[in-house]
Amino acid sequence: MIRDPDIDLAPLQGRTVAIIGFGNQGRAQALNLRESGVAVRVGLREGSPGIADAQSAGLAVMAPAEAAAEADLVMLLAPDEHLAEVYDRIEPALVGGAALGFSHGLAIHFGLIKPRPDLDVIMIAPKGPGSALRSLYQAGRGMVALAAVAQNPSGGAWPLALAYASAIGCGRAGIIASTFEEECVADLFNEQAVVWGGVPALLQAGFETLVAAGYKPEVAYLECVSELKLLAELIEARGIAGMAEAISNTAELGALLGGGRMVDEAAQRRMQTILHEIKAGDFARALGEEAAADYPRLRHARARARTSALEAARQQLLGGR
Ligand SMILES: NC(=O)c1ccc[n+]([C@@H]2O[C@H](COP(=O)([O-])OP(=O)(O)OC[C@H]3O[C@@H](n4cnc5c(N)ncnc54)[C@H](OP(=O)(O)O)[C@@H]3O)[C@@H](O)[C@H]2O)c1
C-alpha cells in the first residue's frame, strides 16, 4: 500500500487536468482535485445535463476537445463503452507528451483505444462509487485505489498517477500498484460473479423461494434482502471470521451447512467459466454490442426489476416513504 507520506505531489503542481464526463466518477474526481489545489476543467458535449451541475459547482466547462487542448492530463471518465468515441474526438487536440488517464482498465486492456505513442497512459481506479469517493474525501478520509501505467514515454507516468490518486483522496486510504489487465479482469469478475451479479441474484432467488412456499413477501424481503446491510457492516468491521463469531450459534451453524451447499464446486466452476470469458474479451464485445443496439438488455432488465414482486414488497415495507 502506498500512502500520502510516500507521494510527491509535484507532478501535478502548476499542471491542468481535464476531466471528460461529469457523472459518477467525473464529478467526484473533479471536485476532490479542485479542493486539493489542482487546476481542473470539465469537458462535456453540447446539451449535456452535467453542464449546469459542473458550472454551479464553480468549475470551468467546455467541449471535450477544447478541455483536452493544452491540458497536461486528460482523464476519460465517460462510460467505458463510449470512451473510444470520446478519445477519437479529443485526440487531435492533445498536446504532444500529455498524459491520458482512466479509472478502469477495459478500454486499454481490450484495445478499444490505441493511444498515440507520445502519450503517457495511466490508470487510477478508485474501488467504489464516485459518491463515496467524494463523501470520504469531504470527511477527511479516502478510498483505496489501484494505479497502473500502460505507456510511459515521458518516464514520469508513475509519479503522475500517484500524485493524481493522492489529490482525489486515495492516498489517505492506500494505493495498490497494479496493471490495466489485473484491475480490469478482477473488477469485471467481481461485477459479474460476486458482489454486483452473484449477490443480488442470490437475494432474488431466496426471496422467490420463500414467497413460492407461501411466506409473506414482506417477511421474505426482510429476511433475504434487508439483512444484507447488517452482513456488509459486520464484514467491513470484523472480517468474515469476525462476522461468523458475532452471529448466534444458530446462524453460524446454519451458514456453515447451507453456504457450502449453495456455493459448491459446480458454482466455482461457473465462476471459472465467467473468468475465462472475461479474459477472452467476450464481455467487452457484449458491452459494445449492447451499446450499439441502444441497450436492449439493460432496458428490459431495468423495467422488469422495477415491476417485480421483490420491489413491490420493498415499497410495501417503506409504506409510501
Ligand atoms: N461508477 C462507478 O462507481 C465507477 C467506479 C470506479 C471506476 N469507474 C470507471 O469510471 C469511468 C466513468 O464511469 P462513470 O460510472 O463515472 O460514468 P457515468 O457516470 O456513466 O458518466 C456519465 C458522464 O459521461 C458523459 N458521457 C457519456 N457519453 C459521452 C460521450 N459519448 N461523449 C462525452 N461525454 C459522454 C455524460 O455526459 P452526458 O450527460 O452528455 O451523457 C456524463 O457526464 C468508467 O471507466 C468506469 O468504469 C466507475
CATH of residue 97: 3.40.50.720
Nearest CA to ligand 1 atom 15: 24
Number of domains in the chain: 2
Instruction: Please tell me the distance between residue 314's alpha carbon and the centre of ligand 1 in angstroms.
Output: 29
The yes-or-no verdict on residue 51 having pLDDT over 70 is yes
Confidence of residue 66 (pLDDT cuts 50, 70, 90): very high
Read off the pTM: 0.95
Instruction: Please tell me the distance between residue 76's alpha carbon and the centre of ligand 1 in angstroms.
Output: 8
Nearest CA to ligand 1 atom 47: 104
Count other Cβ atoms within 10 Å, centred on residue 86.
23
Q: Is 26 in the pocket of ligand 1 (CB under 6 A)?
A: yes
Q: In angstroms, rounded to a whole number, what is the distance separating the alpha carbons of residues 72 and 80?
A: 22
Nearest CA to ligand 1 atom 28: 78
Q: Is 86 in the pocket of ligand 1 (CB under 6 A)?
A: yes
> Percentage of the chain surpassing pLDDT 90?
99
Q: Is 189 helix (H, G, I), strand (E, B) or coil?
A: helix
Q: Is 45 in the pocket of ligand 1 (CB under 6 A)?
A: yes
Confidence of residue 70 (pLDDT cuts 50, 70, 90): confident
Assess whether 53 and 167 both reside in one domain.
Answer: yes
Pick from 132, 149, 177: which residue ends a domain?
Answer: 177
- List the catalytic residue out of 82, 104, 109, 300: 104
Assess whether 164 and 201 both reside in one domain.
Answer: no
The residue behind cell 453540447 is 46
Count other Cβ atoms within 10 Å, centred on residue 7.
20
pLDDT value at position 320? Answer: 59
Within a domain: residue 183? no
Assess whether 283 and 147 both reside in one domain.
Answer: no
Q: Which of 22, 25, 196 to mutate to test the pocket of ligand 1 (most atoms within 8 A of CB)?
A: 25
Assess whether 168 and 213 both reside in one domain.
Answer: no
Residue 104: active-site member: yes
Q: Is 80 in the pocket of ligand 1 (CB under 6 A)?
A: yes
Q: Is 129 in the pocket of ligand 1 (CB under 6 A)?
A: yes
Q: Is 79 in the pocket of ligand 1 (CB under 6 A)?
A: yes
pLDDT value at position 223? Answer: 97
The mean predicted confidence, pLDDT, of the chain is: 97
Residue range 284-310, pLDDT digits in tens: 999 999 999 999 999 999 999 999 999
Average pLDDT for residues 53-58, to the nearest whole number? 97
Domain that holds residue 133: 4-177
Within a domain: residue 219? yes
Nearest CA to ligand 1 atom 20: 79
Q: Which atom of ligand 1 is nearest to the CA of 22?
A: 43
Instruction: Return the HEC string of 149-184.
Output: EEECCCCCHHHHHHHHHHHCCHHHCCEEECCHHHHH
Nearest CA to ligand 1 atom 39: 48
Q: Which atom of ligand 1 is nearest to the CA of 85?
A: 31
Q: Is 165 exposed, middle or buried (0-12, 13-18, 19+ CB in 10 A)?
A: buried
Q: In angstroms, rounded to a whole number, what is the distance separating the alpha carbons of residues 18 and 22?
A: 11
Q: Is 130 in the pocket of ligand 1 (CB under 6 A)?
A: yes
pLDDT value at position 253? Answer: 97
Pick from 177, 212, 239: which residue ends a domain?
Answer: 177
Residue range 253-267, pLDDT digits in tens: 999 999 999 999 999
Average pLDDT for residues 62-77, to the nearest whole number? 97
Residue range 108-136, pLDDT digits in tens: 999 999 999 999 999 999 999 999 999 99
Q: Is 126 in the pocket of ligand 1 (CB under 6 A)?
A: yes
Within a domain: residue 184? no
The yes-or-no verdict on residue 321 having pLDDT over 80 is no
Is-contact 314 320, C-beta < 8 A? no
Query: Pairing relation of β-strands 145-151 and 120-126?
Result: antiparallel
Pick from 138, 155, 177: which residue ends a domain?
Answer: 177
Instruction: Please tell me the distance between residue 25's alpha carbon and the centre of ligand 1 in angstroms.
Output: 7
Average pLDDT for residues 182-211, to the nearest whole number? 98
